[in-house]
Amino acid sequence: MKSFITAAFLALIPAIASADDWDATLEAARGRTVHFHAWGGDERTNAFISWVGDRVEAAHGVTLRHVKLGDTAEAVARVLAEKAAGRGSGGSVDLIWINGPNFAAMKEQGLLYGPFAGSLPNARWLDLSPGSANVTDFTVPVEGLEAPWRLAKFVFLHDTARIGPPPAEMAGWPDWAAAHPGRITHPDPANFMGATFLKQALAELAPEGTDLSVPPTDATFAAATAPLWDWYDALRPHLWRGGTSFPASQFAQRQLLNDGEIDLSMSFDPASAAAAIRDGLLPPSVRVHVPAKGSIGNVSFVVIPFNAANPEGAKVVADALLDPEVQAHMQDIRVLGAFSVLDPGKLAPQARADFAALPSGPALPRLEDLGPVLPEPAPGWMTQLEAEWQRRYAR
Amino acid sequence: MTSGGLLRAVAGTAILGGLGLPVLLGLGHGIAAAFGHFPAIGAHGPDLRPWRELLEMPGLGRAVLLALWTGMAATGLSFLLATGTLAALHGRGAARGLRRVLAPLLAAPHAAIAIGLAFVLAPSGWIARALAPLLGWARPPDIATTGDPLGLALILGLTAKELPFLLLMFSAALTRIPVGAQMAAGRALGYGRTAVWLWVLLPQFWPQIRLPVMVVLAFSVSVVDMALILGPSAPPTLPVMIARLSSDPDLQALLPASAGGVLQLVLLAGTFAAAAVLARIAGAAGRAFLRRGHRLRGTGRTLALLPAASAGIVLMAFLALAALLVWSAAFSWRWPELFPAQLTWRHWLDAGRWGWPAGASALIALASTGLALAAAVAWLESADRLGRRGRDRWLAAAIHVPLLLPQLSFLTGLSGLMIRAPLPPLAAVIWGHWLFVFPYLMIALKGPWEAADPRLECSAAALGAGSWRRLWRVKLPVLLAPLLTAAAVGFAVSVAQYLPTLFLGGGRIETLTTEAVALASGSDRRVAAVHAVLQALLPWGAFLAALAVPAILHRERRGLGGAA
């Protein structure tokens, strides 16, 4: 008991110090602009970021500029170019919405500001214990270099007016697709959602004992993916356009589903079906499906580049994103519907009540319906899957 | 130094220093990177690795063929249809009406036409929905009508944009040939209309239109935005592949991307050579036919097919614009509805969404066009004053350089150079647009300027007016219509720019075009349509103003009214 008290006391010391630090951070951030480079392809996310901007402006006098990217790599390339040009400070990027290979690339090339996530006041609502989804990003250790803000979990969307739910196991897909020729497809694997479809299949089809958390060698890759390519060869002829062309992204695919050209889409956001129905972007008959063994999940983070002109402002925004009120607003299906990264067990009763009071809908799954989370394989798997798919099927 | 000399020195410096030099520097940086020299990402060449990596890209061969095929087919088709249509319509007083009909299409940026056309052509699109009840389709057919492996939709989209441009350029060029007299002479000798066009008029006409055709070819072979929306995906065309490589998370991919930019350059040079050879063969074949006494009588009916095909393509483009309008006000519009079940104004009412990009587009277009207009007038006027009119072939060559190079080949390098000498993003984007606005504006203005009646200026000089007074009181007012038309062309070119905005603004400048292309990737067709409609409306407004202003100011001077 005594040691517990000592430990608690010791734990408080950095907390007190960091409260002072945080005041200094807020002071330095006031009156300045944060350039937040974030993928801009989703209207609801854009509106949410703009809402967060209004909030930090009102609370801390920080102006948030959302620089909408077509691809996160654009921001990475920009920071890299600045580093190359010797621009060690005053960079044009303050904050980036990022995860997976882009994060791995920035970390590897030394393009990051340093550990900051742990010092954010709202980080206390996060589960940061080893093994939590918040401390590794596609198996790459986060080490406080990025702060989480939304949860992603891979789901399928199907139009119940035209087709039944996908098979419980990925192995059943070739037969299912054969029964619905030309009505099923997946995004181009050059896009991360298309690659995720392949990863989802790989996670189920890889031979017993394959460890996807270890970066692949040529030999382990060949052994692990052999059943996947057999499966894909059986599936492909039944796909939309005979498997010769693919929608560029999940959004292009959602549009095809809305247009009635296909009956299936997929998403990293379990709330996306309900959100799209509300918005007129999908027919009301669309529902969400998760494979029986669970599906790939990951966390979206924000990072600060090493040469950010306004790292204090970036921290204020990263902290605001973790505010329980902001997270509950984000999880509201009328706003964004993205699942929160906060640990419900750590939240104050009021915050827990806010989450419990969020509206539901027929196309909106409950957290417990989503099944187990399969971890993201090491980034090398994705890059190699993409390259191998290109080699085999892009002519 | 005379006023002419001074004017020339200023304009020349601006054109060379602001246009020629940076393009060459950007190109140089790109070529160095292609051969493995890019210190910024730790590559110190020379090294052939970027080329090996590029050549190992899956589908590269097909991507190259696709770019060549779609670009050359679209250019060839546009050329054929434009020539054929003018041949069929010439002397029927339709040329002026033609301009007014085509103005909305000339004005609409490639991306806007592509977004609209993608819906018109799609298996679940307007045409298919109209056919569905007749053919009994319960579901959209699983046929690739956009993004087809042969790139036919892309060819159609490019043609829908390039045909109006070539029609305009050709009809301007035709005014310099005594078509009526030569046609009468040819007909009197027993030659059919087709024969006179092919063997008498086209050979005179070709040197005048060669450059615009080459510009169209360069653009079509290296287009990115339209190919993203209408082109095939697996593999895409080479320029799309290079643009993707440029934004690969693995930054080492910039090296093969630069090699791809150089490859594009080589391919383009190859197509130019092919076009020149083709023109020579056509000339030789024409002379051979002529010597054998072929007269091609009674081919007028075949010739009439060409304006019909042109009309079909123009109609399709107008359908695309109409589809954009309807989509911008749709809530949901699903198969098989011919018209949305639910309309809403909410995408238009959300002015906070499109207001800033629209303002940025207008500001950048006004600024770059204003600068380009000033530079063009300064250069042309100085040439007049120094008596060097029409003798600056090197300038004609220099201003075409940005139009005849693939944009990616020098913009990547330029944006790299910009980091060392940072300009404010807005200034950088205005300058980047100027690179393309100035050449087009110059092309549009040079002909009318040099065709202006020199006797007017002589009379003014004889009456004692100095050179500046002659410029302000005589030349510019007389040339008001062509000046405004050229400015409208420049404005439209600026509004349509995609890659310069993206590369030089570092993603910090959002225009209607960058927004429309980003949204066209599928997130929300309705919001994309709002941006595309605005993107088409802005330049259209500029063209209308270019027609209306001289017509109003010169309403009592018939010879000057809007006859540009």
Residues B1-14 have pLDDT tens digits of 577 888 888 888 88
Determine the average pLDDT of the residues in A11-34: 78
Determine the average pLDDT of the residues in B495-516: 86
How much of chain B exceeds pLDDT 90, in percent?
43
Cβ–Cβ < 8 Å for B416, B48 = no
Tell if the CB–CB gap between A78 and B420 is shorter than 8 Å.
no
* pLDDT, averaged across chain B: 87
Is the pLDDT at A59 greater than 70? The verdict is: yes
pLDDT given at position A7: 47
Burial class (CB in 10 A: 0-12, 13-18, 19+), A104: buried
Residues of chain B numbered 330-369 and touching chain A (CB < 8 Å):
330-332, 334-336, 342, 344
Picking from A40, A246, A280, the nearest residue to B233 by CB comes out as: A246
Distance of CA B41 to the CA centre of its chain: 34
Determine the average pLDDT of the residues in B513-519: 87
Residue-wise pLDDT for A212-229, tens only, equals 989 999 999 999 999 999
pLDDT given at position A9: 47
pLDDT given at position B106: 84
Picking from B344, B420, B518, the nearest residue to A70 by CB comes out as: B518
B420 confidence band (pLDDT: 50, 70, 90): low
Give the whole-angstrom CA distance, residue A336 versus residue A341. 14
Q: Residue B324: how many CB atoms within 10 A of its CB?
A: 28
Residue-wise pLDDT for B17-30, tens only, equals 888 888 888 899 88
Q: How far is A2 from chain B (nearest CA, A)?
A: 51
Domain spanning B48-328 has what CATH number? 1.10.3720.10
Task: Scan for tokens 């989804």, then name that residue.
Answer: A133
pLDDT given at position A101: 85
Predicted TM-score (pTM) of this structure? 0.83
B339 confidence band (pLDDT: 50, 70, 90): very high
Residues 6+ apart with CB under 8 A from A64: A33, A34, A36, A49, A50, A52, A53, A56, A57, A317
Determine the average pLDDT of the residues in B90-112: 79
| B37 in reach of chain A (CB within 8 A) | no
Distance of CA B109 to the CA centre of its chain: 8
Helix (H, G, I), strand (E, B), or coil: what is residue A358?
A: coil
Which residue did the predictor score with more confidence, B225 or B248? B225
Q: How many CB pairs under 8 A join A and B?
A: 152
Which helix (H) or strand (E) segment holds residue B124: the answer is none
**Strand residues in chain A grouped as ranges (E):** 33-39, 63-69, 95-98, 136-137, 140-141, 146-153, 155-159, 264-267, 286-289, 295-303, 373-375
In CATH, what class is A155-297+372-393? alpha beta
Tell if the CB–CB gap between B59 and A390 is shorter than 8 Å.
yes
Residues 6+ apart with CB under 8 A from A378: A138, A139, A140, A212, A213, A214, A215, A216
Tell if the CB–CB gap between A73 and B248 is shorter than 8 Å.
yes
Determine the average pLDDT of the residues in A7-25: 63
Q: Residue B231: how many CB atoms within 10 A of its CB?
A: 26
Give the whole-angstrom CA distance, residue A37 versus residue A96. 5
Tell if the CB–CB gap between A81 and B510 is shorter than 8 Å.
no
| B469 in reach of chain A (CB within 8 A) | no
Picking from A76, A87, A249, the nearest residue to B522 by CB comes out as: A249
Which residue did the predictor score with more confidence, B499 or A302? A302
Lowest mean pLDDT among A1-15, A301-315, B205-219, B221-235: A1-15
Which residue did the predictor score with more confidence, B99 or A27? A27
List of chain A residues whose C-beta atoms are within 8 Å of the C-beta of residue B149: 244-245
- Residues β-bridged to residue A308: A91
Is the pLDDT at A16 greater than 70? The verdict is: no
Residue-wise pLDDT for B438-497, tens only, equals 998 998 898 888 888 888 888 888 998 888 898 888 889 889 989 998 999 899 999 999
pLDDT given at position A124: 94
| Interface predicted TM-score (ipTM) of this complex, two decimals | 0.78
Please report, for chain A, the start and end positions of each structural domain, with discontinuous segments joined by +.
24-150+299-359, 155-297+372-393
Q: How far is A35 from chain B (nearest CA, A)?
A: 9
List of chain B residues whose C-beta atoms are within 8 Å of the C-beta of residue A182: 142
pLDDT given at position A13: 46
Residues of chain B numbered 255-294 and touching chain A (CB < 8 Å):
none
The two structure tokens encoding residue A271 = 């709330």
Give the whole-angstrom CA distance, residue B340 versus residue B331. 7
DSSP-assigned letters across all residues of B246-258: HT-SSGGGHHHHH
Residue-wise pLDDT for A281-335, tens only, equals 999 999 999 999 889 988 999 999 999 999 999 999 999 999 999 999 999 888 8
How much of chain B exceeds pLDDT 70, in percent?
94
- What is the 3-class SS of B367-378, one letter each residue? HHHHHHHHHHHH
Cβ–Cβ < 8 Å for B539, B165 = no
Residue-wise pLDDT for B342-398, tens only, equals 899 999 998 878 999 999 999 999 999 999 999 999 989 988 888 776 667 777 778
Helix (H, G, I), strand (E, B), or coil: what is residue A297?
A: strand
List of chain A residues whose C-beta atoms are within 8 Å of the C-beta of residue B234: 188, 244-246, 393-395
Give the whole-angstrom CA distance, residue B52 versus residue B65. 19
Give the whole-angstrom CA distance, residue B54 versus residue B259. 7
Tell if the CB–CB gap between B523 and A84 is shorter than 8 Å.
no
Task: Scan for tokens 């980080």, then name that residue.
Answer: A123
- Closest C-alpha to A57, from A91, A40, A32: A32
| B144 in reach of chain A (CB within 8 A) | yes
How much of chain A exceeds pLDDT 90, in percent?
63
pLDDT given at position B94: 64
The arrangement of secondary structure in A24-150+299-359, i.e. its CATH architecture, is 3-Layer(aba) Sandwich (3.40)
pLDDT given at position A11: 45
Q: How far is B222 from chain A (nearest CA, A)?
A: 20
Q: How far is A264 from chain B (nearest CA, A)?
A: 14
Domain B1-35+347-564 CATH assignment equals 1.10.3720.10: yes
Is the pLDDT at A69 greater than 60? The verdict is: yes
* pLDDT, averaged across chain A: 89
pLDDT given at position A32: 95
- The distance in angstroms from the start CA to the end CA of chain A is 68
Which residues of chain B are in CATH 1.10.3720.10 domains? 1-35+347-564, 48-328
Q: What is the CA radius of gyration of chain B?
A: 24
Tell if the CB–CB gap between B251 and A82 is shorter than 8 Å.
no
Is the pLDDT at B319 greater than 70? The verdict is: yes
Chain A residue with CA closest to B412: the answer is A81
Which residue did the predictor score with more confidence, A7 or A55? A55
pLDDT given at position B331: 94
- Residues β-bridged to residue A295: A373
Picking from B122, B147, B246, the nearest residue to A245 by CB comes out as: B147
Cβ–Cβ < 8 Å for B539, B487 = no
Intrachain domains A24-150+299-359 and A155-297+372-393 with the same fold: yes
